[in-house]
Structure 1
């Protein structure tokens, strides 16, 4: 693996993750009605730390491979959507728009996994939890929209 590629991919992941510190959950979020299965606050930085490291590792492994164009396109799309979701949900408080973004993110992650399977099974398995996490986040976003119609209309 090319470590310079890893650093570049990690830089993209760090930029995406920075939106979490720029738009952290605030009093507004704490007042929203959420389902009982909402992950605890500590789970989010733990999960994202693993996922961003896995994304950087997978990207660095796969980028130089022949036939990796589709995987890299999905990698770029998912990191862009990943970066966009937090400011839309927490910054703009646009719950429905965030839901659209997270559905697109789920599709991009599924596309990434499908593109990784024939190229690099280790990258595929390292990123498989990402689809699970985005599924949970999407279900949580949907639940918050339906439980908070007054906030979701914004």
Structure 2
């Protein structure tokens, strides 16, 4: 693993994560009806920091390997969709449209997981928490949308 490559991928992750600072949850999100199983607020930054470290690690392990084109393509797609979800959900307050972004993100993360596994066991394993988190996030997004259809912009 090339440490400089790791930090380049980590920078991409934190670039995507910066959308959280640009579009913070705020009062609007606090006012939404959320299911009882919604994680507490402190879990989100811990989960995302961990996920970003893991997927930067995964990408840095496979980026220079022969046959990594699909892994890198899925990695790029998932980070772009990751960056898109926050402005759609929190910025535009479009809960339903955010579900579509999340569905595409889930598929991209699945593709990244499988393609990383094909190249390197540790890289594939590093994507598993992300796939699980996006699954929970998708269920949460659907539940919040169903409970708050009148709260959309």
Question: Do the structures match in fold with TM over 0.5?
Answer: yes
Count how many residue pairs are aligned between Structure 1 and Structure 2.
153
Superposition misfits of 4+ residues, deviation over 4 angstroms: none
Distance 2:115 2:57 in 1: 16
Instruction: Name the counterpart of 2:147.
Output: 147
Distance 1:93 1:15 in 2: 21
Q: TM-score with structure 1 length normalisation?
A: 0.97
Instruction: Name the counterpart of 1:74.
Output: 74
Instruction: Name the counterpart of 1:118.
Output: 118
Shift of 1:118: 1.5
Distance 1:44 1:72 in 2: 25
Distance 2:57 2:107 in 1: 21
Cα deviation 1:44-93 (Å, max 9, x = unaligned): 00000000011111111110000000000000000000000001100111
Instruction: Name the counterpart of 1:12.
Output: 12
Cα deviation 1:75-119 (Å, max 9, x = unaligned): 000000000000110011111111100000000000111111110
Instruction: Name the counterpart of 1:34.
Output: 34
- Root-mean-square deviation (CA, aligned residues, Å) is 0.8
1:25 aligns with 2:30: no
**3-state SS of paired residue (2:65):** coil
Distance 2:92 2:26 in 1: 12
